[in-house]
Amino acid sequence: MLRICLVALSLAAAPLAAQTPEPRVPESQAEISLSFAPLVKEATPAVVNIYARRVVQSRSPFAGDPLFGNLFRDFGGRPRVQNSLGSGVILSEDGIVVSNYHVVGQATDIRVVLNNGAEYEASVLIGDEEADLAILKLEDAGEMPFLPLRDSDTVEVGELVLAIGNPFGVGQTVSSGIVSGLARSGTATGNARGYFIQTDAPINPGNSGGALIDVKGRLIGVNTSILTRSGGSNGIGFAIPSALVAQFVDQARAGNDDFERPWAGMTGQPVNADISESLGLGLPNGVLIADLHPQSPFAEAGLEVGDVVLDVDGQPVNTPPEMLFRMSVRGLGHVARIRYLHDGAPQEAKVEMIAAPETPPREAVTLDEDAVLPGLALARINPAVGAELNLPLPDDGVVVTDPGPYGTRIGLRPGDVLRAINGRAVEKTGDVGRLLKRAAPRVRIDALRGGGRVSLRFRT
């Protein structure tokens, strides 16, 4: 009885302030295990809902049909409005927002809604479909709440994380989990390719573009996709690392409309056990250089075909997407430190991060209305053109950049490398119009497409 009384007296004597502590971010593991509420309260104002609209041209049901395609080419091709829903993260107090490209890319109307109900119009400053990232600017924004970026290279497997977004449009939602994997490449769905942080924090449709934060409220990644068979979360989600987000913000503030990646000028492949054994290496790691362009900065730095790139700026690379990610994070105009193996011996080199050169000149040509294929746009292949159209090495010859309406009908596609017209070699962009007229009315175009050969025949 005495013990009970003493406890009661002790509680009664406790000061009022100690009974109602001020909310704060949890700092210890013990505090984190009690509640994420203070952290969520601090972070969620910077995570926004995004509503985007774009006008798309619906496809005719007869498109591509050899019999009815031309007869009904205008049937069903009416514009329609397509809506998308996703999330975004405010990164600065002046209203810079990051989201996914598949949420806001090519949108004509973007509306951003904060968790307090405030709405803003937004415009895309820079976007990239391959990285699936877009940087927006809120119009007439005052002082905005924002999340600080943490260097994603410091993230470790097993760290506690929160995913914040707007899944299924139900409203802002928070889910918790851990970082379950790093250096995940080639595993995300859609057009995104590269390097990802993997998490088991539940991510669902509508979470795209939302925040993946650590226990201090810092952004470590932008949620982009899930691995699923049913369409729901199975506990395997992917986030684009904050290091790449930082590069996008820097280029957007510099006034770039498109994201510029450093050009490697090489093709490579992961070193597996068989390759490692054949080269007399130890554990299978690194990227084997399979081909090098003469203008490649790696060739300029002394690397050769058969060398194995081990790391970029001290960060290991085991796949070509990881290597491209590391180069993109380093950024154009900088120098990366490369560690590699040459004849089995470790070497180091400094490689300049450059844009794909425009040498030789692209000599772009668009055929006029009097041509056999009016509107057909062509370019001489150089490193810049090859990078834009994702052409394999070696890159030479004449490539289709836009088939135009008539070229599309006969089956030409962007990226087709023209080799011959009715058996006559295509060497320059200026050759194409002349050779087409000489070949009419029965024309055969021989081209390379994705490494394979195609032959297109038509009558004028």
Which residues are the active-site residues? Answer: 102, 132, 208
Whole-angstrom CA distances from 395 to 267, 378, 382, 384, 398 are 12, 14, 7, 10, 9
Count of beta carbons in the 10 Å neighbourhood of residue 23: 10
Sign, CA dihedral 194-199-201-202, equals: positive
Please answer whether residues 145 and 164 qualify as being in contact, where contact means their C-beta atoms are separated by less than 8 angstroms: no
- Residue 448 dihedral angles phi and psi, to the nearest 5°: -105, 135
Distance (Å, whole) CA 268 – CA 45: 43
Cross-strand pairs, 365: 378
Q: What token pair was written down for 72?
A: 């009904």
Q: What is the DSSP letter of 235?
A: S
Name the amino acid, one letter, at 69: G
**344: alpha, beta or left? (left if phi > 0; alpha if psi -120 to 50):** left
Pairing mode of beta strands 96-99, 109-113: unpaired
* Residues pairing with 380 in the sheet: 398
Contact in structure between 322 and 183 (CB atoms under 8 Å):
yes
> Is residue 350 classed as helix, strand or coil in its secondary structure?
strand
- In DSSP notation, 317-329 reads --SHHHHHHHHHH
